[in-house]
């Protein structure tokens, strides 16, 4: 930031902030950026939506985007019957022999990771051989695998197959402590607690996340933007939920912040004022963060 060293910027400057679970086919990317997000990870959208973001070059008024590409699911599996799943957003994988080609299709579209659907509540899920083949094909080319795990035993199946990230904190069952300890050594969970509102599913998810985190598990802030009525951009309710799950402020910031300048984002985030002492006000304060282009700092604050 040459020429800006002597400037005083009121408030707090962070590295760019990230939401690790959005759907750009269901929410406006410009609104996400205006809402304080410098980087987003799309976890399921059709190629027609994702194509403009395949180029990693920074665009004015848009977040930097990494994406999984299509939802990889079993025949008849979730979300093939959902009205919100736009044409072309789902890739059906009918057996292990189709795994490599399904993963290759996402790579050719520019994917940085792949997403497998393990929702036994909503329909059929992959048999073990197909799931293992998908994870193996992705790992063979260096791509992490994200899983939507919903239903009895599906989070355990994701872990046992070598899945790297869970797209959601598990909420359909209380996971055993031994499984959580094993997961904490190798998996990353994306939070998405606020999609449940405040009720029994939220309580189960929060309990699982608290114990996963206590065991050393890595938690990443994510909201599933596009899923239900949420604030577009940073979500103070998600930040509150992370605090409820036992993360302190430093851990919440770690979950949402892109390292700078070593990470993918060169953007900065700016929040006016000083951090309030009360945690509830702190979450709302952090959610007021806006992106700050280093090239515009002198113009805005000089």
Each domain of the chain, given as residue ranges in start order, spans 17-266
User: Where is average pLDDT lowest: 82-91, 127-136, 292-301?
Assistant: 292-301
Mean pLDDT of 99-113: 95
- pLDDT of 59-75, one tens digit each? 667 898 999 999 999 99
Position 81 scores a pLDDT of 93
Residue 12 Cα distances to 15, 264, 266, 291, angstroms: 10, 21, 17, 12
**What class is the 17-266 domain?**
alpha beta
User: Would you tell me how many other CB atoms lie within 10 Å of the CB of residue 243?
Assistant: 17
* Among 218, 276, 281, 226, residue whose Cα is nearest residue 82: 226
pLDDT of residue 202: 97
Q: What is the mean pLDDT of residues 40-66?
A: 81
Structure tokens at 168: 């959601």
Look at residue 302 and tell me whether its pLDDT is greater than 70: no
pLDDT band at 221 (very low <50, low <70, confident <90, very high): very high
- pLDDT of residue 1 exceeding 50, the answer is no
74-83 mean pLDDT: 96
Task: Taking residues 33-57, report their average pLDDT.
Answer: 85
Burial of 224 (0-12, 13-18, 19+ CB in 10 A): buried
Which percentage of the chain shows pLDDT scores above 70?
Answer: 89
The per-residue pLDDT for 61 is 79
Looking at residue 13, its pLDDT comes to 83
């Amino acid at each position: 930031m040459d020429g800006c060293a002597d400037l005083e910027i009121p408030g707090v400057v962070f590295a760019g902030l990230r939401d690790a679970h959005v759907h750009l086919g269901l929410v406006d990317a410009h609104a996400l950026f205006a809402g304080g997000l410098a980087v987003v990870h799309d976890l399921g959208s059709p190629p027609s939506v994702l194509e403009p973001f395949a180029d990693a070059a920074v665009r004015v008024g848009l977040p930097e985007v990494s994406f999984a590409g299509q939802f990889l699911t079993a025949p008849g599996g979730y979300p093939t019957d959902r009205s919100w799943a736009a044409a072309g957003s789902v890739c059906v994988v009918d057996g292990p022999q189709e795994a490599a080609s399904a993963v290759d299709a996402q790579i050719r579209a520019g994917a940085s990771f792949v997403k497998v659907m393990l929702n036994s509540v909503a329909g059929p899920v992959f048999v073990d051989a197909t799931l293992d083949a998908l994870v193996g094909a992705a790992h063979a080319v260096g791509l992490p695998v994200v899983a939507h795990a919903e239903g009895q035993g599906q989070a355990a199946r994701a872990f046992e197959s070598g899945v790297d990230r869970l797209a959601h904190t598990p909420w359909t069952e209380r996971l055993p402590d031994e499984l959580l300890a094993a997961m904490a050594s190798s998996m990353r969970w994306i939070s998405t607690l606020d999609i449940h509102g405040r009720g029994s599913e939220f309580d189960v998810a929060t309990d699982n996340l608290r114990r996963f985190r206590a065991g050393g598990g890595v938690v990443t802030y994510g909201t599933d933007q596009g899923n239900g009525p949420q604030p577009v951009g940073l979500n103070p309710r998600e930040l509150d939920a992370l605090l409820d799950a036992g993360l302190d402020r430093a851990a919440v910031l770690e979950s949402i912040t892109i390292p700078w300048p070593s990470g993918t984002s060169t953007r900065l985030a700016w929040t006016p004022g000083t951090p309030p002492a009360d945690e509830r006000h702190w979450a709302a304060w952090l959610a007021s963060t806006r992106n700050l282009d280093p090239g515009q700092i002198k113009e805005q604050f000089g």
